[in-house]
Amino acid sequence: MITYEFSLLFSLRSEQEDPDMYVEGLYEAGCNDATIGIGRKGLIALAFDREAESATAAIESAIRDVRKVIPQAKLIEASPDYVGLTEAAEIAGFSRQNMRKIMLKGATSFPIAVHAGSPAVYHLHSLLKWFRDVRKIHVRDDLVEVSAVTRQVNLAKELSQLPKRGLSKRLRALVA
């Protein structure tokens, strides 16, 4: 068994709903391995340290446990996934300056940002795989695994919100 660290952010039925009313039930339903954030009405966040055979099993069981108590909760985001370079450096154990040097040295092969604005946003999984595979920098396997799964969860959530017809074949070919 490996302990996976990840967070899940959910919206509740209404923006006025008090998330505090779910804390005890979440604990009893199996979320006793999570720190629960209830700072904003209408939202609830859970930061898990969950033991499981895989990151997929950990995240799936966490979502199921939350839905036992709050079946109407809508997943907003699973993390770690979307990160800026500063956050990626922190997660990977680098200084921000070292991260910038690493990025500039590998400019042609460096992962493409999801959002190229200021600040740029990346998928953590792309960065970690690049550190490991291209730059040969040691990265924890559990972190690579959990970032891959949270990326998939966020992608699945986004795809589920598309109209049933989805992308046309031409558009799909253009963005692939």
What digits encode the pLDDT tens for the residues 133-176?
888 888 889 999 999 999 999 998 988 777 766 667 776 666 65
Q: What is the distance between the alpha carbons of residues 124 and 130, in angstroms, rounded to a whole number? A: 10
Q: What is the distance between the alpha carbons of residues 168 and 23, in angstroms, rounded to a whole number? A: 43
Confidence of residue 94 (pLDDT cuts 50, 70, 90): confident
173 in a structural domain: no
Same domain, 46 and 92: no
Same domain, 87 and 66: no
CATH code of the domain covering residue 52: 3.30.70
169 in a structural domain: no
Domain that includes residue 17, residue range: 2-79+149-160
CB atoms within 10 A of CB 169: 8
Label the pairing between strands 2-11 and 43-52. Answer: antiparallel
The pLDDT, as a whole number, for residue 174 is: 67
In this predicted structure, the answer to whether residue 60 has a pLDDT above a threshold of 80 is yes
pLDDT digits (tens, 9 = 90+) for 35-57: 998 877 889 999 999 999 999 99
Same domain, 73 and 94: no
Q: What is the pTM of this model?
A: 0.85
Domain count, the chain: 2
176 in a structural domain: no
Same domain, 16 and 96: no
The pLDDT, as a whole number, for residue 110 is: 85
Q: Cα 56–41–152 angle (5° rounding)?
A: 20
Token pair of 42 as six digits: 């209408």
Q: What is the DSSP string of 35-52?
A: EEE--STTEEEEEEEEEE
